[in-house]
Structure 1
Amino acid sequence: MTHEREITEPVDLCRPDGRLNPAAMGWSRRPLHRANLRGWGRAKRWEHWGVVTPTHIVGLVASSLDYAGVHSLYLLDRRSGIERTTEAVVPFARGAVLPPVSGAGAVRARGGGLVVEIDQRPDGSTVRATAPGVEVDLVVPLPPGHESLGVVVPWSTRRFQYTHKDVGRPVRGTLRVDGTAYPVDTESFAVLDHGRGKWRYAVSWNWAAGCAPGRALQLGGRWTDGTGATENALFLDGRLHKIGADLAWSYDRADWLRPWRVTGDRVDVRFHPFHERVARTNLGVVAGETHQCFGHFSGWAATDDGERVDLDGLVGWAEEARNRW
C-alpha cells in the first residue's frame, strides 16, 4: 500500500527552478495542480479524450512532446469493426495550445488535415474536431459534486508526471462520418486523460478505464510501480474511492484479445476484449507501440469502507504502451 496524501488546495507542480515541488506530491479529487513546467526538453503535455457510444468509439489526442506535436483522431465503428485514423506530427509542436490546469482554458491543435478545438469551463467542456470524413461536436458537462483523480508520479525531482484522469463524464452531441450523423446521448460516456510532466526517455505503462451508469473504474500500472504513487480508483455515484496499491496485470501478448486480469488490494478485475487497436510510431528519436483493447469488464473493486462493487456491465478499454520519447 502507498501512503499518498490528499491535496485539497491549488498548488504549483514545479518549484521556481523547474524541479518537482514537494508540496505537489499526492492526489486530489479535482484538478488542483498548475503545471508550471519550465525549459525545453523532456517536457510532455497532452489532452486525450476517449468517448464510447453505442455505435462508435472515439480517441482524440492533442499533445506537445517539445520537439514535436503529435495529434490524432481515431474512430472505431463498433458494428463493422472498421477503424479510421488521422494523425499529424508537427515539428516543435507549432500552434499547439495546452493550458497548465486541467478543465480550464482552451486546447488547440492542427496539422495534416486534423483540427482540434477544446474549450474548458467550470461547468464542462466542448470538444470539437474535424478530419477527412469525420466531424466531432460534443458537449461534456461537469455534474455538481463529480470527482476525478489527479496524481503526481515522482521518479525524481527532475523527472515526474502529473496525470489527471476524469472517468465517466456524461457527453452529448453528434459524430458525423462521411456525411451521416450519429447522435451521442445518455448511453454514452467520456474519459479525459490530462498529462503534464518531465519524462524519462523510455517508459512503459498499462491503463484501463471502464464506465457504466453510476460506476466507473480507473486503473494504471508499470509506470507508477515503486514510486509511492498510484492512479487506481473506483468511482461510485460520482464519488472517488482511491486505491493506494500497485496492481498485478496479466494478459497474453501473443493474443491481445484473450481475457485480461488485474488484481491487488481491493481489486479483482477481468477484462474481456472485443476489438484490438494497434498504434505504432517510429520517428527515430520518438518511437512507440500501443495495443489498446476495447471490451467489457467483470469482477469487483472495493470502496473505502470495504464494500465490493460489481463491475459487470462496465465498458471501456485496457492497454499496454511502450514509448521512447
Structure 2
Amino acid sequence: MTHEPELTSPVDLCLPDGRLNPAAVGWTRRPLHTANLRGWGRAKRWEYWGIVTPAHIIGLVASSLDYAGVHSVYVLDRATGQESATEAVVPLARAVVLPPRSGAGEVSVRGGGLEIRIGQRPDGTVIHATGRGVRLDVAVPLPAGHESLGVVVPWSSTRFQYTVKDLGRPVHGELELHGRRHEIGGPDAFAVLDHGRGKWPYAMTWNWAAGAAPGRAIQLGGKWTDGTGMTENALFVGGRLHKIGAELRWSYDRSDWLRPWRISGDRVEAEFHPFHEKVSRTNLGVVANETHQCFGHFTGWAATGDGGRTSLDGLVGWAEEARNRW
C-alpha cells in the first residue's frame, strides 16, 4: 500500500526553477495541476484519446518530446481486423500546441499527412482529426459530477510526470473511413483521455490497462510508478472515482501477447482477454520505442474503498506494455 495525499486546490507542477513542486505530489478527482515545465530536452507532453465503439477502436496521439513531435491517427475495424494508421515525426515539434492545463485550451498538431485539433471547454471536448483515408469529428461531453484521476509521479526533483486518466466519457459524432461514413454514439461508445506532462528518465517501461462499460470503468498502471509512493490505479462507478493505493502484479506472455493477461493485488483481481494486438516500433538510434497494445475484454472484479466489489465483466478497452528510450 502507498500513502497518497488527495489534492483539492489548484497547484503548479513545478517550482520557479523548474524542479518538481513538492506540494504538487498527490492525486486529484479533477484536473487541478498547471504543467509549468521549464527547460528543454527531457520534457514530454502529450494528449492521447482512445475511442471505443462496437464497430471501431480509434487512437489519436498528439505529442512533443522537445526534439520531435510524434503524432498518429489510428483506426481498427473490429469486424475485419483491418488497421488504418497515419504516423508523423516532426523535427523540433514544429507547429505543436499543447496547453499546460488538462481540459482547457486548444491542442493542435499537423504534419506528415495528418492533422489533429482538440478544443477543450468546461462542458467537454471537441475533436477533429484527419489521416490517410480517415476523418474524425466527435464531441466528448463532460457529464456533471464526472471524475477523472490525476496523479503526479515523482522519481526525483528533476524527473517527474503528471498524468490525467479520464475514462468512460460519452462520445458522439462521425468517422469517415476510406469513403464510408460511420455514426459514433450510444451507450457502448466511450472515450478515454491520457494527458501527460513531465520530465522523464531516458529509459522507462510501463504497463497501462483501461476499460469501460456503461456506469463502470477501470484504470490500472504498473512498472513506471513502482517505488515512487504513487500509483495510477482507480475504479470508477457511476462516474465516481475510487482510488486504489497499491502497486499491482502484472502477468502476461511476452511471446504471445494475445494470451490472457492477469492484473491483481489489493482490491483488484482482473483478467484481460485480447482480441487484437497493435504493435508500434520506432528506432532512431538513441531514441526508440516498442509498444504492444492489445484490445479486448475484461473479467474479474475491483473493490471500492468500503470493500464493495464491482464486476469488471464486459468492460472493453486495452492493456499494453511500452518500452521507451527517449
- State the TM bucket, normalised to the shorter chain: over 0.9
Residue 85 (structure 1) shift: 1.0
What's 2:291 paired with? 290
What's 1:211 paired with? 212
Residue 285 (structure 1) shift: 2.4
Runs of 4+ in 1 over 6 A off after TM superposition: none
Residue 286 (structure 1) shift: 1.6
What's 2:321 paired with? 320
Residue 164 (structure 1) shift: 0.4
What's 1:299 paired with? 300
Alignment of 1:53-92 (within 5 A): 53-92=53-92
What's 2:156 paired with? 156
Residue 222 of structure 1 pairs with residue 199 of structure 2? no
Structure 2 segments unaligned to the other structure (5+ residues) = none
Alignment of 1:105-144 (within 5 A): 105-144=105-144
String of CA shifts for 1:36-79, please: whole Å, max 9, x gaps: 00011100000000000111000000000000000001110000
Residue 283 (structure 1) shift: 1.5
Give the structure-1-normalised TM-score: 1.00
What's 1:311 paired with? 312
String of CA shifts for 1:201-244, please: whole Å, max 9, x gaps: 00000000000000000000000000000000000000000000
Name the aligned partner's letter for residue 54 of structure 1. Answer: P
What's 1:20 paired with? 20
3-state SS, counterpart of residue 313 of structure 2? coil
Residue 30 of structure 1 pairs with residue 51 of structure 2? no
Distance in 1 separating the partners of 2:284 and 2:50: 25
Distance in 2 separating the partners of 1:41 and 1:180: 42
Distance in 2 separating the partners of 1:60 and 1:16: 32
| Partners of 2:85 and 2:132 within 8 A in 1 | no
What's 1:199 paired with? 200
What's 1:42 paired with? 42
Distance in 1 separating the partners of 2:140 and 2:287: 32
Distance in 2 separating the partners of 1:194 and 1:10: 17
What's 1:252 paired with? 253
What's 2:182 paired with? 182
Residue 178 (structure 1) shift: 1.4
Distance in 2 separating the partners of 1:132 and 1:254: 31
Distance in 2 separating the partners of 1:166 and 1:256: 25
Distance in 2 separating the partners of 1:315 and 1:309: 15
Distance in 2 separating the partners of 1:22 and 1:132: 44
Distance in 2 separating the partners of 1:59 and 1:99: 20
3-state SS, counterpart of residue 221 of structure 2? strand
Distance in 2 separating the partners of 1:101 and 1:285: 30
3-state SS, counterpart of residue 23 of structure 1? helix
Distance in 1 separating the partners of 2:82 and 2:131: 16
Distance in 1 separating the partners of 2:97 and 2:287: 21
3-state SS, counterpart of residue 231 of structure 2? coil
Name the aligned partner's letter for residue 192 of structure 1. Answer: L
Distance in 2 separating the partners of 1:285 and 1:116: 27
Residue 120 (structure 1) shift: 0.1
Residue 166 of structure 1 pairs with residue 129 of structure 2? no
Distance in 1 separating the partners of 2:185 and 2:59: 17
Structure 1 segments unaligned to the other structure (5+ residues) = none
What's 2:145 paired with? 145
Distance in 2 separating the partners of 1:64 and 1:285: 17
Name the aligned partner's letter for residue 47 of structure 1. Answer: E
3-state SS, counterpart of residue 306 of structure 1? coil
Distance in 1 separating the partners of 2:56 and 2:33: 32
Residue 185 (structure 1) shift: 0.5
What's 1:263 paired with? 264
Distance in 2 separating the partners of 1:133 and 1:251: 34
Percent identity, aligned pairs only? Answer: 74
Q: How many residues align?
A: 325
Give the structure-2-normalised TM-score: 0.99
Query: Over aligned residue pairs, what C-alpha RMSD do you find?
Result: 0.5
